[in-house]
Amino acid sequence: MSFMSGLLMLLAGCNAGTMTVGHYDGTTGKTSTSVYSKYYDNGDWLLKDKLGIVIIVDHEKKNIPIAHGVAQSLGALGPADSMASGKVFVALWNFDSAPHPVKFKRLLASGGQLDFENQVLTATPHEQTETEVGVIPISNYGESVRVTLELEVAEKPRRIVLDLSRRTRQQLDQFFSPGSVRPYPWGARSVKG
């Protein structure tokens, strides 16, 4: 094996959280490719026009680059290859001039749940507050993750169901580059007022 082919195998293994999917259009006969990143996200309002929430999942799959490539080429990947870990983050977007405490109860996903034990995260006025909340099992080959978040805001219980889309590389550039419009209900609004 040459140095260059070894380097290419190593680099491919470092992108273990990414996924490439080919699509064939039977009508046109053309094939296209989507390169998915390792990030899933979606957001919604907790308090209309005042407080938004975004849930982010960071896909983590630990592969030993050369060993995984060899196992794949031999058809020796097992059932564990279909599962990965998703590191979960919650971001509160406070567009208001008042702080908003949010009490987190639990997060449910198809692969498991996180119990927050009534942990309170306070959204600072005109700031975005983000914290890591735990890890859930996810599909290694999924394009979305459905979560249900149970929480309390403004002393009222809320239950939010979100389908977190796995962002393609193209979507990351489109939605998250400077000056872009975010894929959340508040669009291009800034928390800074």
Quick one: pLDDT at residue 65?
45
Domain boundaries, the chain: 3-176
Amino acid at 68: H
Report H helices in the chain.
3-14, 65-73, 169-176
Neighbours of 47 (CB within 10 A): 18
What is the rounded average pLDDT of the residues 88-109? 97
91 phi, psi to nearest 5 deg: -125, 130
Query: Residues 153-180: pLDDT tens digits?
Result: 999 999 999 999 999 999 999 999 988 9
Cα 162 to the chain's mean position, in Å?
A: 11
Quick one: pLDDT at residue 16?
54
Cα 13 to the chain's mean position, in Å?
A: 20
Tokens, residue 155: 């002393």
Cα distances from 191 to residues 49, 125, 127, in angstroms, run 11, 8, 6
For residues 122 and 169, the answer to whether their CB atoms sit within 8 Å is no
Query: Residues 17-69: pLDDT tens digits?
Result: 678 887 778 888 888 888 999 999 999 999 999 999 999 999 987 644 444 44
| CA 80 – CA 71 distance, rounded (Å) | 13
CA angle 46–47–48, rounded 5-degree value? 115
What percent of the chain lies above the pLDDT cut of 90?
63
Quick one: pLDDT at residue 74?
44
